[in-house]
Amino acid sequence: MRPAALLAACALAASTVLVAGCGSENAASGSRAASGSPTCASRPPTGDPADLKRDGVTILSQGCGPSPSAQTEFEVTNTETEPFTYTISFEVRNGSGEVTSNPHRTVASVAPGQTVRKTLELGEVPTAGARVRIGKVRAVPADEASEVSGKCPPSGMRITTDEGDAAMGLRAVGLHLANCGTGVVKINGYPRLQLLDERRRPLTGVRILDGTGAISTAGGPDAPPRPVTLRPGEAAYASLMWRNTTESGTPVNVPYVRVTPKPGSPTAIVTPELDLGTTGRLGVGPWTKDRVSRPATPDGYSGGRPSRTPGSTGE
């Protein structure tokens, strides 16, 4: 996080919450704090309810943290019947309404009926009138959550996705499997996927293909699946590829994907946000060992992009 800048004022906006400014003077009275530390009063949010409350997440107030850094306070309420893990994407906008950053926060294992209050540090905000709103909320059953910063799942396999690449309507996302446990993980073939909608219901009408060659041959011919052995700290990846062409029909967007890394293994739900257009096809590459060196300790793999060397194989 960049060094925090001194913010000039605390203000409110009609449509979104204004990030509180932190200066060397008290924001409410205009006087310097007795300790000489920057202070500013916590402000209640006002504005468009859709910007402040969405999918179980509510922005509560804003103020200054222990350092001169903007922050926002929010809470998450689980209305489901089982524990859920929530990932919230916020939008920080400057005085002109431009998005300047998209901080994320994951709140893990919120029990049914529980409300959890958290503070999100926003760091340096470019203007005193910056505004923060809820951008997107993704909620996954806790026993299928597989986020990087959390504990290693009982299976010893952590499933994540990277940010992907896009060019001329062609899309690609890396699906990553990390051995975060203490034993050896052996995989072979293709990950099995179930596409889910906004309410995590199965989507139909999309063909999931073994291999990506039917989508594009830009990366060369499809490599055949080979057995992959992962020791603790090692990882593998599989490429997801599609085209987001939109012609006749209704475009299909897939926020959630349930992944089965190998037959009989526990599933994990990831949120790659697939914009499949109207093509009705998604290509899936085979598991391939990631050649990037990783610490060989439990929880040592921190995610990231795979090493996409053509023709690389597992052990």
Please give the pLDDT value at position 292: 63
Please give the pLDDT value at position 308: 37
Please give the pLDDT value at position 125: 61
Beta-bridge mates of residue 230: 185
Asked whether the whole model's pTM tops 0.95, one would answer: no
Please give the pLDDT value at position 215: 93
Q: Say if 17-139 and 146-289 have the same CATH topology.
A: yes
Q: How do the domains of the chain map onto residue ranges?
A: 17-139, 146-289
The domain over range 17-139 is classified in CATH as 2.170.120.12: no
> What is the spatial distance between Cα 174 and Cα 138, in angstroms, rounded to a whole number?
19
Can you give the pLDDT of all 315 residues of the chain as single tens digits? Answer: 333 332 333 333 333 445 544 433 333 333 333 344 444 455 666 567 888 899 999 999 765 544 456 778 999 999 999 999 999 999 887 777 788 888 889 999 999 999 999 988 876 665 556 678 899 999 999 999 987 777 899 899 999 999 888 776 899 999 999 999 999 999 999 999 999 999 999 999 999 999 999 998 876 778 899 999 999 999 999 999 999 888 888 899 999 999 999 999 999 999 999 999 999 999 999 999 988 644 433 344 334 433 333 333 334
Which CATH code of 2.60.40, 3.40.50, 3.90.25, 1.20.1050 fits the domain covering 146-289?
Answer: 2.60.40
Residues 6+ apart with CB under 8 A from 200: 140, 256, 269
What one-character DSSP code corresponds to residue 286? P
